[in-house]
């Protein structure tokens, strides 16, 4: 299972990368705005800064919602750095753009996926990744994990090689449930990744080992 971090915060990206378990990064326009990154050139520079930290796929989202605009922006993003994956919204114009990029061997991440039908369509268009938003489904009383399981079944039935990138992950149980189902990738905040390491018995056990060592080595 590949681990991506879902942020545009360079400090957090570096901290996750330093753990040695980071495979990639996802961003979106809201995450860029949260870091105060505005203006086309600053946004492109920020993607480059992320690519310099992480040697893996970095999703960069197009803003256009029409086919021609998505192609224009997507080609510019893809030319920026070999790590860039063009993130395209799950709309019909987006499906056409994914098909176009797929024929050109430009990697895509189809974002804002909330149903199995959308995931099927994106895979048929040749998306490299699809991003079902678990947390946002949970927010509206719909089981996001069940959607991941449904998409896994469909993709396995037809051997689609589109990777399921479980997104909008909010906590460590989301990550564990995604791993049980066989999501190919998960993207989440640094807090959820770090929380996987925590267990009170580990802390207690370590405390005891160190205390016993200290007793015997005065
Ligand atoms: C996916 O790529 C999105 O950036 C992200 O996971 C959205 O998460 P949120 O629902 O926490 O905003």
pLDDT averaged over every residue in the chain:
98
Look at ligand 1, atom 10, and give the residue with the nearest C-alpha: 168
pTM of the predicted model, to two decimals? 0.96
Looking at residue 218, its pLDDT comes to 84
Mutating to test ligand 1, I would choose from 26, 27, 133, 136 the residue with most ligand atoms within 8 A of its C-beta, which is 133
Give 185: exposed, middle or buried? Use CB within 10 Å, 0-12, 13-18, 19+.
buried
pLDDT bucket at 212, cuts 50 / 70 / 90: very high
Looking at residue 152, its pLDDT comes to 98
* Average pLDDT, integer, range 124-139: 98
Q: Kindly report the length of the chain.
A: 218
Looking at residue 125, its pLDDT comes to 98
Residue 165 in tokens = 């990138």
Does 86 have pLDDT greater than 90? yes
Give 70: exposed, middle or buried? Use CB within 10 Å, 0-12, 13-18, 19+.
buried
Between the CA of 138 and the centroid of ligand 1 the distance, in Å, is 13
For ligand 1, whether the C-beta of 172 sits within 6 Å is no
Does 142 have pLDDT greater than 90? yes
Residue 73: HSE in the Cβ half-sphere, 13 Å Cα cutoff: 23
What is the per-residue pLDDT across 143-200, written as a single tens digit (0 to 9) for each? 999 999 999 999 999 999 999 999 999 999 999 999 999 999 999 999 999 999 999 9
Look at ligand 1, atom 5, and give the residue with the nearest C-alpha: 168
pLDDT bucket at 116, cuts 50 / 70 / 90: very high
Looking at residue 208, its pLDDT comes to 98
Largest separation between any pair of C-alpha atoms in the chain: 73
Looking at residue 198, its pLDDT comes to 97
Does 65 have pLDDT greater than 90? yes
Looking at residue 70, its pLDDT comes to 98
Measure Cα distances from 4 to 16, 106, 147 in Å.
9, 19, 20
Percentage above 90 pLDDT, the chain: 99
Q: Is 104 a catalytic residue?
A: no
For ligand 1, whether the C-beta of 5 sits within 6 Å is no
Locate all alpha helices (DSSP H) within the chain, ordered by sequence. 10-18, 29-34, 40-53, 67-80, 92-103, 116-125, 134-139, 144-158, 172-181, 190-195, 200-216
């Amino acid at each position: 299972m590949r681990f991506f971090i879902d942020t545009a915060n360079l400090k957090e990206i570096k901290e996750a990368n330093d753990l040695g378990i980071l495979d990639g990064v996802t961003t979106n326009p809201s995450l860029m705005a949260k870091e105060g990154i505005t203006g086309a050139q600053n946004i492109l520079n920020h993607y480059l800064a992320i690519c310099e930290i992480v040697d893996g796929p970095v999703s960069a989202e197009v803003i256009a919602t029409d086919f021609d605009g998505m192609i224009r922006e997507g080609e510019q993003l893809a030319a920026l750095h070999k790590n860039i994956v063009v993130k395209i919204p799950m709309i019909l114009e987006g499906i056409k753009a994914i098909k176009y990029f797929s024929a050109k061997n430009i990697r895509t991440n189809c974002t804002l996926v909330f149903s199995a039908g959308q995931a099927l369509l994106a895979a048929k268009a040749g998306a490299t990744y699809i991003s079902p938003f678990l947390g946002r489904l949970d927010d509206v009383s719909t089981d996001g994990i069940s959607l991941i399981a449904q998409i896994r079944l469909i993709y396995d039935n037809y051997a689609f090689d589109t990777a399921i990138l479980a997104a909008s992950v909010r906590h460590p149980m989301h990550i564990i449930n995604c791993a049980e189902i066989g999501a190919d990738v998960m993207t989440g905040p640094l807090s959820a990744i770090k929380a996987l390491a925590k267990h009170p018995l580990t802390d207690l056990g370590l405390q005891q080992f160190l205390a016993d060592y200290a007793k015997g080595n005065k």
